Amino acid sequence: MTVIPVDELRVADCYQCGKCTAGCPVAARMDRMPNQIVRLVQMGGFEAAIASAAMWECVSCQTCTTRCPKSVDCAGVMDKLRALSAERPSPEQARHHTILFQHAFLKNIRRHGRLNELELVGTFKAAVFAKNLEIPFLFKDALLAPRMLQRGKLKLAGGSVRDRDVVGRIFDRCLQSRDRQGAV
């Protein structure tokens, strides 16, 4: 049974004015637009909402939530849908670059406490390659690397936290009730 905290997100109050979609910078790229997603969730169409790829296009800019005249937390709905879709992604979603990126990001900070950018680029690209076999993607940013190095913007060793174990324990405690959420 899928749980979306509709009360907390004030989904019932939506009257379909469409302001969320009007202000959304990526609505045109979504298979279902923000107001349609809110409507689906309002009507109990949770599975259809989770099956959408809209939330993986969402850039979390918060414009929808900020402008909603009924204080519906549309960006919060997108967060919730991402969390649910990340728990048990469809094969299509599991290949989505954004979901692979978020997982690689969390794995990375769990390991180091702070982001190791170079390692993130490597693990993310490897994950995309493993799922999609996109060879051009592997080399897409290769031209940027020497220019970043030249500017001292690419560090080969990232910063690490002295007490790294505590970060792992924080992850464990947050994820324990949720079946460790796959790769993270």
Partner 1 sequence: MELGYYPGCALHGTSNDYEDSVRACLDALGVGLKEVNDWICCGATAAHSINHKLSIALPARNLALAEREGFGEILAPCPMCSMELLKASDLVKSDAALRQEMGRIVELDFEGRTSVLNLIQVFQKVGLDTIKAAVKSPLEGLKAACYYGCLLTRPPETLRFDDCERPSSMEAVIAALGGTAVEWNYKTECCGAGMTLANTDIVLDLSHKILTNAAAHGANCVVVACPMCHVNLDMKQADIERRTAVRHGMTIYYLSDLVGRALGLSDHTLGIDRHFVYGG
Q: Which residues lie near partner 1 (CB under 8 A)?
A: 25-26, 29, 57, 59-63, 65-66, 75, 79-80, 82-83, 86, 97-98, 100-103, 105-106, 109, 113-115, 117, 120-121, 124, 140-141, 144, 147-148, 151-155, 158-159, 161-163, 166-167, 169-171, 173-175, 178, 181, 184
Of 175, 159, 145, nearest to 111 by C-alpha is 159
Is there a contact between 14 and 36 (Cβ–Cβ < 8 Å)? Answer: no
Nearer to partner 1 (CB atom), residue 51 or residue 83? 83
Contact partners, residue 126, CB within 8 Å, separation at least 6? none
- Contact (CB, 8 A) for 70 and 61: no
Cβ distance to partner 1 smaller for residue 43 or 138:
138
Q: How far is the CB of 16 from partner 1 (least distance, A)?
A: 22
Whose Cβ is closer to partner 1: residue 43's or residue 146's? 146
Cα R_g (the chain), whole angstroms: 19
